[in-house]
Amino acid sequence: MRTKQFKSESKKLMDMMINSIYTHKEIFLRELISNASDALDKLYFKSLTDDNVGIAPDEFEIRIEIDKENRILRVIDNGCGMTEEELDKNLGTIAKSGSFNFKQENGKTDDVDIIGQFGVGFYSAFMVSDDVTVESRAYGSNEAFRWNSKGADGYTVSACDKQTVGTVVTLKIKPNTDDENYDEFLDQYRISALVKKYSDYIRHPIKMEFTTKEPVETKEGEKPEYRDVTELRTLNSMIPIWKKPKNEITSEEYNNFYKEKFYDYNDPIRVIHYKTEGSATYNALLYIPKQPAFDYYTKEFEKGLQLYSKGVLIMDKCADLLPDYFSFVKGLVDSEDLSLNISRETLQHDGQLKLIAKTIEKKIKGELEKMLKDDREAYEEFFKSFGIQLKFGVYNDYGMHKDTLKDLLIFRSSDQKKLITLKEYVDAMKESQENIYYASGETYEKIEMLPQTDAVKDKGYDILLLTENVDEFALMMLGEYDGKKFVNICDDKLQLDSEEEKKTLESENENSKEMLNFMKESIGEDIASVRFTNKLKKHPVCLTSEGGISLEMEKTLNSMPGAADNKVKAKLVLEINAQHDIAQKLKTLYEQDKDTLSKYAKLLYGEACIISGAGVSDPIEHSNLVCELMTKQ
Ligand code: ADP
């Protein structure tokens, strides 16, 4: 028999398990029971359509056996079992589980972390055992195989004798050390307590022979005597947590269930648990996570809720139960009305399911609204993790869901220096103010430095500061809120002037038309026009855009995949402060020295670019021009 090596990632994890300093070694039992339970589910599911399975529904069970003398603990199931290949594949590598990829991406080296963060499954057995054997016979096969490993060196697989379908996992429990007591895992009371603690809701019975002392009747005056009585006990209540009444569940239980089931190391930020009867009868247990799962913002992420039919899992990720914008929600639905062997295709058209999905959406929205209202701090934390998803929700599907989501958005207010809702913005608006103003940029600080902000703030109007790519697109899709239009302060049409001021400016632009045109020609293709403006207070110039595509949107659109061949270009306008000394200087140059004016135009454009955060396209030319000016007599 040849000893096979573990795949390299598995080997590392094995080393970690064996040398684990993790204090919760006890979770190994939960992991083995959960594997056994999955195997039972699989075979049970098969038995619904396949008469050959030959096991009655109530015969599916998990057994735990303790042999104290030989330091043996066994977890036995009559589930689907594993073939020789499956033993090799499933227990020879963990690379598929994703947990290890995560660890590497984040460059973490702390082994305590990974165990706490993810169920590491079968491998946790090596925290308490240095000799693990798995004997298994797969359903439909008349052969059985034994997998054995004594640690990181590798494992063997060989044929063995096993009469019934299912799996036996045998752990040789480690000897006690100075700091570690392993005996506890051979103690029936301790094992029984661990099952209650971690696996109570497992829907198959977990049985163990329990030995207690019973007094033997003795004559008066004689020493009392006891005899051992052994009985088979079912250790778990088998009632899934979601079927228990709410007032019987502590928040710790809710949280533990969440963390085990959905592989999160944080408690959830909110739990939604409800039951409906009537047109659709079902239980739902939903969780809003605190932080996105490691793969949440990747293509690999699959949204969905677990779907149970009368306590039996029929689908692990039922995508139709969650809209994309709430895809971060984890949880399950257990329906009384769905048929067990319903297929994915028929499920999609199932009226019940649609009804359930609708209620779920409402419940999640309601919970978020409540959090926004009653616990702003928690909501902000939530929004930091998933706000971007809500904003995409506004933008996607041609804005179909914008009304559902608009009141869940929060943005940074320049005025109030905190995150506010659109309603809060509108409520604080001045009477004279007609629009909702916003500006986008890399950071709040950089946006606040934009020259365009001065005039808006001077009027006493608040500005929403947008720092995420999707922000502006979401607001464009919204178009307006409560009848108030969204206006980018960097848009060329930003208009804060009175009619009279507007007129004066128009004639100023008209009178200098030729000069402004000359400047535009000097700068070249980069800009659409040059004009005077009133919207700047102390700054000489700024860049705005016309036609709806802003500089920030240009950046975002061009950074998208496939954008290289088809670049979007914002139509830029160089605006010059009509009140600034530079305005007069330009006019004089136009009369006396067109050559210098042409250079000034380029310089001013360069300045405006720098201020806007876009940077100059030709820094050498820009710096040469500055130098030329500095050395000019
Ligand atoms: P996970 O359960 O997260 O997939 P594990 O390392 O615990 O990871 O188990 C790996 C795989 O081995 C399981 O997905 C399952 O296919 C198989 N397996 C483990 N235990 C059993 C069992 N008792 N019966 C049948 N298959 C099992």
- The tens digit of pLDDT for each residue in 449-491 reads 998 898 899 899 999 999 998 999 999 999 999 999 999 998 8
Comparing 48 with 380, the larger pLDDT belongs to 380
What is the residue-averaged pLDDT of the chain? 88
3-17, 313-327, 338-352, 365-379: segment of lowest average pLDDT: 338-352
Residue 236 and residue 90 in contact, taking contact as beta carbons nearer than 8 Å: no
List the structure tokens of 37. Answer: 């339970």
What's the whole-number mean pLDDT along residues 344-362? 82
Domain 400-488, CATH class in plain words: alpha beta
| pLDDT reading at 97 higher than 70 | no
| pLDDT reading at 136 higher than 80 | yes
If you measure from the C-alpha of residue 64 to the centroid of ligand 1, how many angstroms do you get, rounded to a whole number?
A: 17
If you measure from the C-alpha of residue 472 to the centroid of ligand 1, how many angstroms do you get, rounded to a whole number?
A: 46
Q: What distances in angstroms separate CA 202 from CA 287, 326, 391, 474, one per listed residue?
A: 20, 28, 38, 44
Confidence band (pLDDT; 50, 70, 90) for 104? very low
What's the whole-number mean pLDDT along residues 344-360? 81
What's the whole-number mean pLDDT along residues 174-197? 92
* Residues in the chain, overall count: 633
Alpha helices by DSSP H, listed for 400-480, are 402-405, 422-427, 444-448, 453-458, 469-478
**Distance between CA 437 and CA 458 in Å, rounded?**
13
Q: What angle do CA 139, 142, 146 make, to 5 degrees?
A: 85
Q: What values do phi and psi take at 260, rounded to 5?
A: -70, -45
Domain with CATH 3.40.50.11260 in the chain: 400-488
What's the whole-number mean pLDDT along residues 10-39? 78
| pLDDT reading at 102 higher than 60 | no
Comparing 68 with 558, the larger pLDDT belongs to 68
| pLDDT reading at 49 higher than 50 | yes
What's the whole-number mean pLDDT along residues 267-293? 93
Which residue minimizes the CA distance to atom 16 of ligand 1? 90
- Specify the residue for token string 């409402």: 362
- For 417-426, write each residue's pLDDT tens digit: 999 999 999 9
Q: Which CATH architecture has domain 241-374?
A: 2-Layer Sandwich (3.30)
**Distance between CA 550 and CA 569 in Å, rounded?**
9
If you measure from the C-alpha of residue 35 to the centroid of ligand 1, how many angstroms do you get, rounded to a whole number?
A: 5
What integer pLDDT is reported at residue 511 of this predicted model?
Answer: 94
| pLDDT reading at 259 higher than 80 | yes
What integer pLDDT is reported at residue 106 of this predicted model?
Answer: 42
Domain with CATH 3.30.565.10 in the chain: 2-234
Comparing 233 with 103, the larger pLDDT belongs to 233
Q: What values do phi and psi take at 626, rounded to 5?
A: -60, -45
Domain with CATH 3.30.230.80 in the chain: 241-374
What's the whole-number mean pLDDT along residues 157-168? 96
Domain with CATH 1.20.120.790 in the chain: 499-631
List the structure tokens of 331. Answer: 């949880």
What integer pLDDT is reported at residue 283 of this predicted model?
Answer: 94
What integer pLDDT is reported at residue 554 of this predicted model?
Answer: 83
Query: Is 1.20.120.790 the CATH number for 499-631?
Result: yes
What integer pLDDT is reported at residue 343 of this predicted model?
Answer: 61
Looking from the CA of residue 123, the nearest atom of ligand 1 is: 6
**Distance between CA 189 and CA 196 in Å, rounded?**
11
Q: Which CATH architecture has domain 2-234?
A: 2-Layer Sandwich (3.30)
- For 202-248, write each residue's pLDDT tens digit: 889 999 999 999 888 888 888 888 999 999 999 998 888 999 999 99
**Distance between CA 41 and CA 393 in Å, rounded?**
36
Burial bucket for residue 519 (CB in 10 Å: 0-12, 13-18, 19+): buried
State how beta strands 282-288 and 270-276 pair.
antiparallel
If you measure from the C-alpha of residue 344 to the centroid of ligand 1, how many angstroms do you get, rounded to a whole number?
A: 24
What integer pLDDT is reported at residue 604 of this predicted model?
Answer: 95
List the structure tokens of 157. Answer: 């697989």
If you measure from the C-alpha of residue 185 to the centroid of ligand 1, how many angstroms do you get, rounded to a whole number?
A: 21
Ligand 1 contacts (CB < 6 A) are 31, 35-36, 39, 77, 79-82, 90-91, 94, 97, 119, 121-123, 167
- What is the percent of the chain where pLDDT is above 70? 91
What's this model's pTM, rounded to 2 decimal places? 0.67
Other Cβ atoms less than 10 A from the Cβ of 294: the count is: 19
Among 38, 63, 135, 261, the mutation site with the greatest number of ligand 1 atoms within 8 A of its Cβ is: 38
